[in-house]
Every structure is written in structure tokens, then in C-alpha cells.
Structure 1
Amino acid sequence: MKSQAVPFENRWTNGEHARQWHRELERLGVQNVRTMFCEHETRHGEDRAVVFDIPSGFVRDWLAFHDRQTARQQLVWRGSVIALGLIAASGAVLGLLK
């Protein structure tokens, strides 16, 4: 069976460590990890690990990956709303002209 790589680029590790860290962060969820990361950066910035043994750089890359995904989803949603709005507006204008 081919091993799966994490879906984002990171400078910290690869292989089994990265997959384990990625699974653990996914299990915790974006909002929980973001809260833990903020608390780590404000109070324990000198510590290497944020969550269990996961380095802060890996967590930062993971959060950036999820932020990019969210931004991409919002862009698609906004584009869809604008396109549907233009179709509705042109339909209304054509209806008034007839």
C-alpha cells in the first residue's frame, strides 16, 4: 500500500511523523488548534512543541493550509452568488423589455 503524504508542504518533517501530526491536528479541529497555537505563542513561545510533540512551525503550516482552503471556498461561493445575481438581473431586465 502506498503511503499518503500530508496535503500541504511543510519544512519540518515528512513520512510517518508528518502523517501522525496531521491526523492529530485534524482530530482536534482547526478552531481548537488555532486557540492552542495562539495561547502557545503568547505564553510559551520559547517552547518548541505546541500540541503534544508537534512543533509550532508544523502547526503554523497546517493552519495556513486550512486558511487557504477556506479562502478558496469563499471565493467560489462569492463567484457563484455574483453569477446567479447577474443571471437573475438580466432575466428581470429581459422580462421588463418584453
Structure 2
Amino acid sequence: MKPHKLPFENRWSNGEHGWQWHCELERLGLMNVRAMFADHETRHPGKRAVIFDIPGGFVRDWLAFHDRRTARQQFLWRAIVIGLTLVTAVGTVLNLLRL
């Protein structure tokens, strides 16, 4: 079986163990993991594991990866909207100048 590569950098685990943790977090979902991590940080900051046997640092890296991906998607969306608005404005001005 080919080892999986995590889509983000972490210093907690690599290989199959890290991939299992990643899959478990993906299965739980971003909002659930974020709520569980916040609860862990406020109630049990000294405990090593946040969710099952997944360390807090790994969960933090996983959440940061998703935050960066969301920010990149928002940036691309805004760039596309601004570009289309600019094209529409230029087209409108050129159309007015031809009249």
C-alpha cells in the first residue's frame, strides 16, 4: 500500500498515523473540530490529546491549513469579481463613447 502524503506541514506525525488523524478530522468536519478544539483549550489545556488520540498541535496545524485554504479561495473569488467588474466598467465606458 502506498503511503499517503498530508496536504499540510506538521511536526507531530507523518506517514500512516498522520494520515489516519487527517481522515478522522476530515470525517468530523471543520466546524465540529474547531468547537472541540476550543473546548479542549478552555477546559483541558494540559491534556495531550484533543480528539481521541490526536494531539493538539496536529489539530492546530490542520485548522490552520483549512484557514489558509479558505483565505486563498476568498482571495481568488474577490479577484474574479473585481476583474469582471473592471471589464464591465470598461465596456460600459467604451459603449458610451461610441454614442
Gaps of 5+ in 2: none
Gaps of 5+ in 1: none
Shift of 1:52: 0.4
User: What TM-score comes out, normalization by structure 1 length?
Assistant: 0.97
Whichever residue aligns with residue 28 of structure 2, its letter is L
User: Is 1:48–2:48 an aligned residue pair?
Assistant: yes
Q: Which residue number corresponds to residue 16 of structure 2? A: 16
Shift of 1:2: 2.4
Q: Which residue number corresponds to residue 38 of structure 2? A: 38
SS of the residue aligned with 1:50?
strand
How many corresponding residue pairs?
A: 98
Deviations 1:59-80 (A, max 9, x none): 0000000000000000100000
State the 4+ residue runs in structure 1 displaced beyond 3 angstroms. none
Whichever residue aligns with residue 22 of structure 2, its letter is H
User: What TM-score comes out, normalization by structure 2 length?
Assistant: 0.96
Give the percent of matched residue pairs that are identical in Structure 1 and Structure 2. 68
RMSD: 0.7
